[in-house]
Structure 1
Amino acid sequence: MLELTDVTRRFGANIAVDCVSLSIPEGQMVGIIGRSGAGKSTLLRMINRLTPTSSGEIRFEGKTVSGLGGADLRNWQRDCAMIFQQFNLVPRLDVLTNVLLGRLNHRSTILNILNIFTIEERASALAALERLGIAQTALQMAGTLSGGQQQRVAIARALMQSPSMVLADEPIASLDPLNAQIVMDALRDINEREGITVITNLHTLDTARAYCERVIGMAGGKVVFDDSPTELTTSAVRMIYGASGDGTEISESITSTSISADRPVVPVRPKSTGPLQPALSANTAVAGVALPA
């Protein structure tokens, strides 16, 4: 259980997040919606502790996350994986190495300095890439990939952290409709197959309805809606987004990522109760990519 109690973040005189209290059970797929500046990104960054709280408390499984420091804070940021709108990859490193960076907080400082990864770690990274349908890009420089491919690499890197929770900050905001659907399918697969809590900020109402079992609406730093997608009525949408300049209701079509019903989906493995990234042998090749030594 993730619990937020009266969480507030101030930037000078501006209150970005205003006294937010939430309880999110393990395994939920939660979408946070709202206008730009509503406080969505700040809220996720406070949960991950990239941004400190001004007041209030964040707890996870009985541990006070908002008070962590040092090694405990690094361990929390390992267990609470963050996926960003701008991917945050290292463009001049190959895709496989970018994914392996997700293991840094699981390893000794010496191994990280020497940039030494085990064959099991490399195998797990390739398995994560294969799961997301991009194993063939493993040896390409990350900067040569399309935006949709880079976001899938970022998701694979998050998987390598073996997280208890995944936070995705506008993961499809800069993607075309097809890649947006592929990325959201991948996040839903992680949530359903591993039972990992996924909390994602979204701009599009149709995406929130299609993928999330719970939708949280924010306006002016406050939570103004917290219910199932079926309760996103016209009045609820007006409460979250307001009305257009002439007072008419906002058209959901302007926020839509919908594409044709026969769109392809990201290839995924059958559901499994096994580990997050299945180990492969040293001689295994994944999707035609030879396992690096």
Structure 2
Amino acid sequence: MFRLKNVTRRFGARLAVDDVTFDIPEGQMVGVIGRSGAGKSTLLRMINRLADPSEGTIHFGDVEVSSLRGAGLRNWQRDCAMIFQQFNLVPRLDVLTNVLLGRLNHRSTVSSILNLFTREERIMAIAALERLGIEQTALQPAGTLSGGQQQRVAIARALMQNPKMLLADEPIASLDPLNAKIVMDALRDINEREGITVVTNLHTLDTARAYCERIIGMSAGRVVFDGPPRELTAEAVRTIYGTGANGSEIDESVTSTAIRNPVRQDNIRESASPTPLVLAGL
């Protein structure tokens, strides 16, 4: 069980997150929605401890995450992998090396400095890329990939951490509908096959409804909705987003990520021919 209790984050006089309390059972896929500035990203950054709560506590099982320091904090950030909207890859490094960076918190300091990855770790990295349909990019510089491909590399890197929890901060905000579907399919597959808890910030209601078993709505730093997709009614949407400039209802189609011809999960591979990789030589 993951638990936030009375978590608040202040930036000067501004409340970014205001007295948030909720529990997440192991294995749930949770979508966090709300307007820009509602506190969604700050909430995820506190869960991962990239930002500290001003008040309140965060627990994962018997561990008080909000009080961790040093090695304990590094171990938590290994176990709670983070996927960012802007990918956070090293553009000049090849894709395989970027994925292998997910193993750094599992390795000794000397090995990390010398960049000595084992053959087993390299095989793990290739397997993660294959799972996401982009193994053919393994030897390309990460900066040469499309946005959708880079986000899949970021997911593969997160998988290399063997996480207990996966956070995704608006992972499809900069992607076209096709790549958005591929990325969300991958996150749902990880959640269902590995049973890893996934918490993702989303800016589109249709995506949250389609992929998440639970939706948390935030407004002005507070949780104003928490329930299954079927309860995300027009009234609930109004509570989360308010109304348009003229008092009209929010038009959900404006932010829809739907595509006319959905791509099946088994067809997510790029059209390019795979680059042959000899694992024994990795």
Which bracket does the TM-score occupy, shorter chain normalised?
Answer: over 0.9
Mapping 1:1-293, distance limit 5 Å: 1-265=1-265, 288-291=276-279, 292-293=281-282
Determine helix, strand or coil for the equivalent of 2:265. Answer: coil
Q: TM-score by structure 1 length?
A: 0.92
Determine helix, strand or coil for the equivalent of 1:73. Answer: helix
Determine helix, strand or coil for the equivalent of 1:188. Answer: helix
State the shift of 1:265 in Å: 3.3
Gaps of 5+ in 1: 269-285
Q: Is the 8 A contact 2:168 2:200 kept in 1?
A: yes
Deviations 1:198-222, CA, capped at 9 Å, x for gaps: 0000000000000000000000000
In 2, the alpha carbon distance for the partners of 1:92 and 1:5 equals 41
Q: Is the 8 A contact 1:38 1:218 kept in 2?
A: yes
In 2, the alpha carbon distance for the partners of 1:42 and 1:215 equals 17
State the shift of 1:290 in Å: 2.4
Determine helix, strand or coil for the equivalent of 1:149. Answer: helix
Deviations 1:146-179, CA, capped at 9 Å, x for gaps: 0000000000000000000000000000000000
Determine helix, strand or coil for the equivalent of 1:156. Answer: helix
Moved over 3 A (4+): 264-268
In 2, the alpha carbon distance for the partners of 1:262 and 1:114 equals 44
State the shift of 1:262 in Å: 4.0
Determine helix, strand or coil for the equivalent of 1:162. Answer: coil
Structure 1 162/215 Cα, relative in aligned 2: closer, same or farther at 3 Å? Answer: same
Match of 2:271 in 1: none
State the shift of 1:62 in Å: 1.3
Gaps of 5+ in 2: 269-273
Determine helix, strand or coil for the equivalent of 1:208. Answer: helix
Report which stretch shifted further, 51-60 or 254-263. 254-263
In 2, the alpha carbon distance for the partners of 1:230 and 1:182 equals 24
Q: Is the 8 A contact 1:186 1:266 kept in 2?
A: no
In 1, the alpha carbon distance for the partners of 2:54 and 2:262 equals 47
Specify the code of the residue in structure 1 equivalent to 2:83.
I
In 1, the alpha carbon distance for the partners of 2:255 and 2:224 equals 20
In 2, the alpha carbon distance for the partners of 1:166 and 1:146 equals 23
Report which stretch shifted further, 259-268 or 132-141. 259-268
In 2, the alpha carbon distance for the partners of 1:97 and 1:12 equals 39
Q: Is the 8 A contact 1:81 1:161 kept in 2?
A: yes
Q: TM-score by structure 2 length?
A: 0.96
Match of 1:276 in 2: none
Deviations 1:55-81, CA, capped at 9 Å, x for gaps: 000000111000000000000000000
Specify the code of the residue in structure 2 equivalent to 1:57.
T
State the shift of 1:264 in Å: 4.1
State the shift of 1:289 in Å: 2.3
For this pair of structures, how many residues does the alignment match?
276
Q: Is the 8 A contact 2:137 2:275 kept in 1?
A: no
In 2, the alpha carbon distance for the partners of 1:68 and 1:197 equals 20
In 1, the alpha carbon distance for the partners of 2:93 and 2:241 equals 40
Deviations 1:119-140, CA, capped at 9 Å, x for gaps: 0000000000000000000000
Q: Over aligned residues, Cα RMSD in angstroms? A: 1.2
In 1, the alpha carbon distance for the partners of 2:257 and 2:53 equals 33
Report which stretch shifted further, 61-70 or 254-263. 254-263
In 1, the alpha carbon distance for the partners of 2:50 and 2:267 equals 32
Deviations 1:99-143, CA, capped at 9 Å, x for gaps: 000000000011111111000000000000000000000000000
